[in-house]
Amino acid sequence: MAKQPCVYILASGRHGTIYIGVTSDLIQRLYQHRTGSVAGFTREHGVHRLVRYEVFEDMPSAIAREKQLKNWHRDWKINLIEQDNQDWHDLAVDFGFEPFS
């Protein structure tokens, strides 16, 4: 995937801790999360599985969507994830990352 604005949702596992972020380079950002190279919430809480992402034409649209999702109730976020990823598969594997066991 070339650099393109997107919103992504990471989870520690099915129905586990959820993290929502925005980036213009999903592959690089996933690498940072999965290796723990950047200190913060995802490293502290073991949130590494990509369970959803949405691609946007521009960064302002992606940022607006990120803010919207962060304000949602947890149940709404779970429903959104399960809309396209019922079993919470790690979508990062599709980008060549090793699966988490």
- Residues 6 or more apart in contact with residue 45 via CB below 8 angstroms: 12, 17, 19
Residues 69 and 26: their CA atoms lie apart, in Å, by: 18
1 located within any domain? no
User: Quick check: 11 and 52 in contact, CB under 8 A?
Assistant: no
Write the CATH number for 69.
3.40.1440.10
Q: Is the pTM of this model over 0.75?
A: yes
Number of domains in the chain: 1
Residues of the domain holding 67:
6-95
Q: Please report whether residue 101 resides in a domain.
A: no
The verdict on residue 62 lying in a domain is: yes
For 1-60, write each residue's pLDDT tens digit: 567 999 999 999 999 999 999 999 999 999 999 998 988 999 899 999 999 999 999 999
Q: What is the DSSP letter of 95?
A: G
Does 91 map to a domain? Answer: yes
Q: 100 in a domain, yes or no?
A: no
Instruction: Please state the separation of Cα 66 from the chain's center in Å.
Output: 10
Task: Indicate whether 87 belongs to any domain.
Answer: yes
